[in-house]
Amino acid sequence: MDTEQPPKPLRETNHPPLVLNPQKRTPFLKTATHHPSPEPILPIAHTKHHPRKPPTTTTTPQTTTTARPETPDSNSGSVYFIGTATTIISFAGLRLLTDPNFLHAGDHVHLGPGVTAQRLTNPAVPDLASLPPVDAVLLSHYHEDHFDREVEAQLSRDMPIVTTEHAKQCLTEKGEEPFRKVWGVGEFEGVFMPVGDGQDPDIGEGGAGEGRTKKKKPAVRVTGMPGKHVPPGPLAAINELLGAVPPTNGWLVELGWTKPTEGEEGFETGYRIYISGDTLMVDELKEIPRRLRGDKIDLMLVHLGGTTIPGPNMPLLMVTMDGAQGVQLMRLVDPDVTVPIHFDDYDVFCSPLDDFKKEVDAAGFGDKVVYLDRGDEFKFTIRGA
Ligand SMILES: [Zn+2]
């Protein structure tokens, strides 16, 4: 039994804000001076909706096949699944890219001393240059299946990156070309991301107007969540010595609104996304629902795969959740909707998506999960637009 103590605040520390300016985004490639024109469009295979609340305004079926430009309307958002843990979270004209990895089938990653893995799938978007511009990158940890060497070599040094303290050190202190805009965020530490400084035209509203500074603008708040990539105990101690598996974060990504004059004080959350990161089901995760104090997670992106090192031929140590742990996490965090990611892209992912599906069905959670293929998007509605 846990001894109950009053929950701590969700955010213990606030980092300096990361101001977003969607009118002047950093081009992805460090060699580029401007974005490709026209901007690349995400190739959307299928659009999926809330499993229990399909959209009511149109007769759109649960799944539609479309290839169309993204239209930023103010009360809808989406998660587009590229592959592994690479997604694009969009709303009200803002875009965040998570864990960028654009390796292709047959490519290899190095995951630590003696640990390599082969990619088995292709990403839905072939490379960084084929993405629409984004406002910031969220990097859960510094591992090549989340930030591959090509991305590291090509990405603009001015791209804002929110990540762990460990990854920040790796990105800002090594080599001749360190990254310049990196936020190192620990557990239960927050970064507020407002738009511009009140000078920009409103986003997704078709332009500027009188009194626009009084209008609510979209904003994002990201908070580091606990994650343990190595099981506690002697192995964790050995790993500290070897430095094989880096520390990892989960994220709480709050999409919402604020008035330019009010900043974070006036921030109203319209949608809460919890991204598990590469973690096992550990006691530290129990802090998440405690600190949320009843605030509902709308969407969980859960990293599955039952990643096993050193590899499939010598399965010694599991370092990400398998299907059974994924369902345990659903019970713990109780999200409204869960989308599994990071489940079949590398040969070290030993728990296939079917493991999770079986556990979900056995738990009677079938109507709480949306399955995305690479190239699919999940669309959702944001409160308070
Ligand atoms: Zn991973």
pLDDT at 152: 96
pLDDT at 1: 52
Contact present, 256 and 268 (Cβ < 8 Å): yes
pLDDT in tens, 47-80: 999 999 877 655 444 444 444 434 445 789 999 9
In DSSP notation, 18-40 reads --B-GGGPPPSBTT-SS--SSPP
In this prediction, residue 213 has a pLDDT band, given cuts at 50, 70 and 90, of: low
Cα of 140 from ligand 1 centre, angstroms: 9
pLDDT at 160: 98
In this prediction, residue 208 has a pLDDT band, given cuts at 50, 70 and 90, of: very low
Cα of 233 from ligand 1 centre, angstroms: 21
| CA separation for the pair 262, 170 (Å, rounded) | 35
pLDDT at 2: 54
Cα of 137 from ligand 1 centre, angstroms: 16
Cα of 342 from ligand 1 centre, angstroms: 7
pLDDT at 241: 59
Cα of 247 from ligand 1 centre, angstroms: 12
pLDDT in tens, 122-141: 999 999 999 999 999 999 99
pLDDT at 206: 40
pLDDT in tens, 224-255: 999 987 777 766 666 665 666 788 999 999 99
| CA separation for the pair 385, 206 (Å, rounded) | 15
Cα of 46 from ligand 1 centre, angstroms: 25
Nearest to 77 by CA among 264, 337, 265, 288: 337
Cα of 241 from ligand 1 centre, angstroms: 20
pLDDT in tens, 132-179: 999 999 999 999 999 999 999 999 999 999 999 999 999 999 778 999
- Cβ burial, residue 66 (10 Å; 0-12/13-18/19+): exposed
pLDDT at 48: 97
Cα of 278 from ligand 1 centre, angstroms: 6
Mean of all residue pLDDT scores within the chain: 88
Provide CATH code, domain 14-198+216-381: 3.60.15.10
When pLDDT is averaged across residues 258-268 and rounded to a whole number, the result is: 91
Cα of 143 from ligand 1 centre, angstroms: 7
Contact present, 158 and 133 (Cβ < 8 Å): no
Strand 189-193 and strand 13-14: pairing? parallel
Q: What is the pTM of this model?
A: 0.90
Residue 211 has pLDDT above 60, yes or no: no
Strand partners of residue 117: 109
pLDDT in tens, 325-347: 999 999 999 999 999 999 999 99
Share of the chain above pLDDT 70, in %: 87
Cα of 343 from ligand 1 centre, angstroms: 9
Cα of 303 from ligand 1 centre, angstroms: 8
DSSP letter for 17, please.
P
Cα of 145 from ligand 1 centre, angstroms: 5
Cα of 70 from ligand 1 centre, angstroms: 28
When pLDDT is averaged across residues 253-263 and rounded to a whole number, the result is: 92
Cα of 254 from ligand 1 centre, angstroms: 23
pLDDT at 57: 57
Cα of 267 from ligand 1 centre, angstroms: 32
pLDDT in tens, 12-21: 999 999 999 9
When pLDDT is averaged across residues 31-55 and rounded to a whole number, the result is: 92
Residue 113 has pLDDT above 90, yes or no: no
Share of the chain above pLDDT 90, in %: 71
Residue 277 has pLDDT above 60, yes or no: yes
Cα of 5 from ligand 1 centre, angstroms: 33
Cα of 116 from ligand 1 centre, angstroms: 12
Cα of 229 from ligand 1 centre, angstroms: 9
